A and B are shown apart, each in its own frame.
Chain A
């Protein structure tokens, strides 16, 4: 079974731009969660989608948004990029939502904002 895939793997943007990241979950998984990982703050939860509906949301500004498609693939968008948005963005898929079962993480997208 193929694992979680994320595209692109690396991205360089400048302040003020916007970016869209993509995540394809494991086949059959309907939950996709997004996380931001930085050396100082660690792994921080952004949001979770299940069956195209946002189920949970972390404490991030509205510049961070996401969506999920009917095939469970998910996208995350960050508008008006700031230097502090530089981070590794990870997505994780699960067969159920809410942390009841294990999450399978993708390799991440390394975003650098200049």
Chain B
């Protein structure tokens, strides 16, 4: 079955720095990969989607890369702010449309 690993359960960085979160997967090759943000007590909120034939996607201070050879996606938040503190989830969508989520990385941006 699909296995998804997100780097360290918790990540602390200083305000203004770039946060880099990792999503590694095994076995299947996803057709799409999505990143979500989840705040305590709330459902996930969609951030970005990247397709298997895309290398990089950007949205404001967010950037996602997708390396199908390494089976890895990197999620970057530049000029991080305390308001970026949350849990970030990656999700793989496999042909046949199975959805697999990672367990998430808790990001804390320290003022």
Enumerate chain A interface residues (CB-CB to B < 8 A). 4, 33, 35, 41-45, 48, 55-56, 58-59, 90, 92, 97-108
| Given A45-B98, A108-B43, A99:B104 Cβ within 8 A | no
Contact of B97 among A4, A55, A92, A102 (CB under 8 A): A55
Cβ contacts under 8 Å, A59 to chain B: 1
B32 touches A99 (CB 8 A): yes
User: Does the CB pair A42–B104 fall under 8 Å?
Assistant: yes
Contact B101 A102 (CB under 8 A): no
Query: 8 shortest A-B CB distances, which residue pairs?
Result: A105-B43, A99-B93, A42-B103, A102-B46, A43-B101, A45-B99, A98-B97, A56-B97
Nearest B residue (CB) for A40: B103
Residue of A nearest to B51 (CB): A100
CB distance from A32 to the nearest CB of B (A): 13
Closest residue of A by beta carbon distance from B103:
A42
